Amino acid sequence: MRNGFNTYDSYLKHQLNKTLNPKLRNLWVTRDWERKIEVFSKFFNKLKNQNLLANHSKSLCIRARVGQEVAALKRVGVSDSVGIDLVPFPPLVIQGDFHDQPFKNSTFDFEFSNVFDHALYPSKYVGEIERTLKPGGICVLHVAVSKRGDKYSANDLFNVDGLVGLFKVCDVVHVINVDGLGLDTEIVLRKRKS
């Protein structure tokens, strides 16, 4: 865990500085938009081919900013998909804090996140995924193990063991190396049915 946040409010303010930055938001919806959708679509198609994601999966993208992940899910046929972020970006992304997801228990068949490094409270972040994921549901995390996160990262990983150990009701399906927009590792977990 990185230091530097005296309160949760100071952490939120720091995260909002990135999400509300007009230059970054413009980049995310212009030049960056199609490139990211193509990359995410490849990952999601691969998961579909492995029977870890289906067209009927009710899906959540955690900390989705402007929704490229959501758009990619819809592009590959997963139409019941939504993202959450501190700042909404309708219609793809609704307002929500990943430390306190605005959903009922066992809502989603599939959850995707590439922002674990932004979680100030990793165990709360994981607990919310496990709470909102249906039994038998799949969680996919893309993380950076071989390098530090950006200046908005609240924590750094040096291996996946600590992160996987936070999951209490999910089992690892696989951990593989990927090239995912600066992230190098994909962790796939399945929530136990009982």
CA distances from 188 to 17, 22, 120, 175 (A): 30, 33, 21, 6
Q: Could you say which DSSP state residue 159 is in?
A: S
Give the CATH architecture of domain 8-191.
3-Layer(aba) Sandwich (3.40)
CB 114 within 8 A of CB 141: yes
How far, in Å, CA of 184 to CA of 175, rounded?
Answer: 11
How far, in Å, CA of 61 to CA of 92, rounded?
Answer: 10
Q: In the prediction, which pLDDT does 180 show?
A: 77
Is residue 64 packed enough to be buried (19+ CB in 10 Å), middle (13-18) or exposed (0-12)? buried
CB 139 within 8 A of CB 126: no
Q: Provide the residue-wise pLDDT of the chain in tens; the chain has 194 residues.
A: 445 677 877 776 766 666 666 676 666 567 777 888 999 999 999 999 999 999 999 999 999 988 999 999 999 999 999 999 998 888 999 999 999 999 999 999 999 999 888 888 999 999 999 999 999 999 999 998 876 666 666 666 778 998 999 999 999 999 999 987 778 899 999 999 97
Q: In the prediction, which pLDDT does 129 show?
A: 98
Q: Could you say which DSSP state residue 117 is in?
A: G
* pTM confidence score: 0.84
Q: In the prediction, which pLDDT does 9 show?
A: 78
